Structure 1
Amino acid sequence: MTNLARRAAIASVCSAILLGALKAWAAVETGSVAVLASLADSVLDLFASLVTLAGVHWASQPADAEHRFGHGKAEALAALFQVVVIAISALAILMRAITRLQGGDVSASPESGIAVSMIAIVVTLALTRYQQHVIDRTGSVAIGADRIHYTSDLLLNGAVIVALVLDAWGMVGADPLFGIAIAFWLLFGAWRASEAAINQLMDKEWPEEKRRAFVEVAARNPALKSLHDLRTRSSGAADFVQFHISMNPAMTIQQAHNVVEALEKELGAAFPGTEILIHVDPEGHCDAPENPMIEANLLKDN
């Protein structure tokens, strides 16, 4: 899974280099603010993708004496760095577009910008499809943030084409207006990309559906009397879960150990890549629900 995330990050870097070179040429040929905005975005794509590659590599390092839970949150830090870069580029584009709007200039050689933008759409579409495949396999938050950014590039490049066509038809102001719209779209993308990263850094609980599915798997074990104090979090591509289970107090330590080991195997098969910590309570030790499925419905722990 780590290799998949790394290959996706390398693909992002290569795509950003190719598109940046093409858009630099188009920006010089056309003088378009929309193309310039797209170029700035591609340059920052390259910078952010390099950070993503470094973050994915760092996150893949095994746990050590100083990081006993691994380095998974490096992905969240890389994603947050991307958010800052995107926001700065959006503000710069916004300022340039406003200046261009006040000047009333018209773009030159729109055909160059249109051709490059069409190539960019094809390359970006292929990249985002591959990134989604990797996200589905690994759950990488860094690749997820990268994909959000590149997905916004599809709309950005489409907007560049429309802006250049309208500008060529004599609609003065169309190009900078689209540049302003692109800037705001980038800011929106930055806000969306920040959510998953902040959730990981703040150890937010799993989504309700995932928590319920986890408890449902645990509830299949007939030795469990109840499950309570369920706590979940994610760190990069790794998940961590801890909870208490109530069992028959007449069981020996060996019997309880066997039940816990069997339960860990069942949950590990259903939720690969998850580190599970189980605490055993004697039945009647607390006021936890007798039926663990009640926990799945409430999904709220005291």
Structure 2
Amino acid sequence: MRLEKKATVASSSVAALLVFLKLAVGILSGSIAILASAIDSLLDLIVSLFNYFALHNAEKNPDEKFHFGRSKLEPLAAVIEGTIISLSALFILYEATSKILHPVTMRHMSEGIMVMIASFVITALLVLFLNYVAEKTKNMVIKADALHYKTDLFSNGAVLLALLIIHYTGQELIDPILGIGIAIYMIYSTLPIIKEGVLMLLDVALDKEDVDKIIQVLKEEPEITNYHYLRTRVSGSHIFISFHAVFNNEISLYNAHTIADKVEAKIKQLFDDDKKVHILVHMDPYDDAEINEEEEEW
């Protein structure tokens, strides 16, 4: 099993455990903050299961129906995850506002505090593991999951602090105010995830730094007299690159093909091993960029 899949299994298991604990105590205590955290964990579970499905299918080889594979399932999963988090945050805002308008006395405070301590410790361990996997694999889905559980870690710590303050001061207004703060933070944290996912779905190009490295490889090859129509796009863990390489018209097709293979190998070395780089080289016997100038316009 791939490391990314192990990470989604771990996050799904943790989310399932936290949902059971938080829902039980949240309903018994009447705490909006704990209930909000429980709902967030329930959505975590749904998202983690979907992430497992996305990763499982994204790694499938191209077939007759999907000639370029299913790599876009990864950014799609990130967009769906960000959207679900945002919707859950809106629900938390609604519940917190309702409690401010219609106060409810909290109960079972000791149980709530114990559950939130356990949640904080378990989530902290999961965040450490997900950060390790995200750093090692550079996978967008795991990166989103790591960021998501990191926000959970902060919210769990905030809920725990609020419960302790309420327990010793009796100021229950802190509970819905904290719920509102958690909801706003959840929405704020999802914006980069949704943005990156949407950009990938729209075939965003590589960063300028990576494009410049590709150009440098082309310029360093003496047999390539020029290049044009350099195009790049990112789709999950896949990178697609295409360009026209101009050769001297006296070079043999065999030699031009050999040089193109060498250039492809050098370009692939620019990226991490976990990235699947697909390169298409069109070999021109003369520079036809000006002839097809209109096609170059964006």
Q: Same fold (TM over 0.5)?
A: yes
Residue 212 of structure 2 is aligned to residue 215 of structure 1:
no
The residue matched to 1:270 in structure 2 has which SS? coil
Which runs of 4 or more aligned residues in structure 1 lie more than 4 Å from their structure 2 counterparts after TM superposition? none
Matched residue type, 1:141: M
Find the counterpart in structure 1 of residue 293 from structure 2.
none
The residue matched to 2:175 in structure 1 has which SS? helix
The residue matched to 1:239 in structure 2 has which SS? strand
CA pair 222-156 structure 1, distance change in 2 beyond 3 A: same
Find the counterpart in structure 1 of residue 74 from structure 2.
75
Separation of aligned partners in 1, 2:184 and 2:112: 21
Separation of aligned partners in 1, 2:88 and 2:194: 16
Separation of aligned partners in 2, 1:153 and 1:56: 22
Separation of aligned partners in 2, 1:214 and 1:48: 36
The residue matched to 2:194 in structure 1 has which SS? helix
How many residues are aligned here?
290
Matched residue type, 2:41: S
Find the counterpart in structure 2 of residue 276 from structure 1.
279
Question: What TM-score, normalized by structure 1, do the two folds share?
Answer: 0.88
Unaligned stretches of 5+ residues in structure 1: 288-299
Unaligned stretches of 5+ residues in structure 2: 291-295
* Maintained 8 Å contact 1:106/1:167: no
Q: Deviations over 1:244-278 (max 9, x none)?
A: 22222221111101100111122223324101111
Q: Deviations over 1:131-179 (max 9, x none)?
A: 2333333332222222221121111112201221232212231100000
Question: What is the CA distance between 1:211 and its match in structure 2?
Answer: 2.0
1:8-47 equivalences in 2 (<5 Å) = 8-47=7-46
Question: What is the CA distance between 1:33 and its match in structure 2?
Answer: 0.6
1:1-302 equivalences in 2 (<5 Å) = 3-168=2-167, 169-271=169-271, 272=273, 273-286=276-289
Separation of aligned partners in 1, 2:225 and 2:118: 60
The residue matched to 1:62 in structure 2 has which SS? coil
Question: RMSD between aligned alpha carbons?
Answer: 2.2
* Maintained 8 Å contact 1:244/1:278: yes
Q: Deviations over 1:173-199 (max 9, x none)?
A: 110000011111222233222112101
Q: Deviations over 1:108-152 (max 9, x none)?
A: 333332332232222222222322333333332222222221121
